[in-house]
Chain A
């Protein structure tokens, strides 16, 4: 099955710094999503981005489907950005399945 790898596994930054999180996947996919899980466990959708680039405030994401990777950019980090960032993909032959990466744990220090 599809393998989803995220890097780095952990990231500690000062408030105001920029960061890039990466998601590699091993096969073609129909769907790629980025999620943020806050320290209280709530999972929030950030982007649905099977290809191309999207921006939402200080966050943006780019997926290069032909090269099987996606990047999540966080600019001017704030302490509220702390948490775990997951990417998840839907295989070409599935209508329900999401294959999850192990996540990047981000800590933003004030």
Chain B
């Protein structure tokens, strides 16, 4: 069966520090991978999605970047965090053809920028 895991689960970082959130998927090949952000427990905002190694599409211009160094690994990064980057970050995967298929989420990472 497929599993998705992201870490760290919680993170408290000072303003201006770097960020790295990691996500891995097991049990599937060539998945679509996604990073979402959720603020205040409502509304998911798609940040990045990837359909293959090195292929990243950004949905919202921001202080963050994403990379996909391996087929089942997705990394969310920042060089210098802002207070507004605080939130709940969710990694997700789906099979390549989202149409007709569902999306699965990781456990989430709580980021607090202080």
Contact = CB atoms under 8 A, between A and B. Distances in A.
B103 A100 contact: no
B53 interface: no
Contacts of B96: 95
A86 B41 CA distance: 11
Q: Chain A at the B interface: mostly helix, strand, loop or mixed?
A: strand
Contact of B105 (A42, A90, A102, A105): A42
Contacts of B46: 97-98
Contacts of A94: 98
A103 to B, nearest CB: 5
B110 A95 contact: no
B107 A96 contact: no
Q: Chain B at the A interface: mostly helix, strand, loop or mixed?
A: strand
Interface residues of B, number: 25
A52 to B, nearest CB: 14
B7 interface: no
Contact of B108 (A41, A84, A86, A102): A41
Q: Say which size band chain A's interface belongs to.
A: 20 to 34
A32 B104 CA distance: 14
A25 to B, nearest CB: 15
A53 to B, nearest CB: 17
Interface of A: 30-31, 33, 37, 41-45, 48, 84, 86, 88, 90, 94-98, 100, 102-103, 105
28 contacts: A33-B102, A37-B41, A41-B90, A42-B107, A42-B108, A43-B105, A43-B108, A44-B105, A45-B103, A45-B104, A48-B101, A84-B42, A90-B98, A90-B99, A95-B96, A95-B98, A95-B99, A96-B32, A96-B34, A96-B51, A96-B94, A96-B98, A97-B98, A98-B98, A100-B43, A102-B43, A103-B41, A105-B42
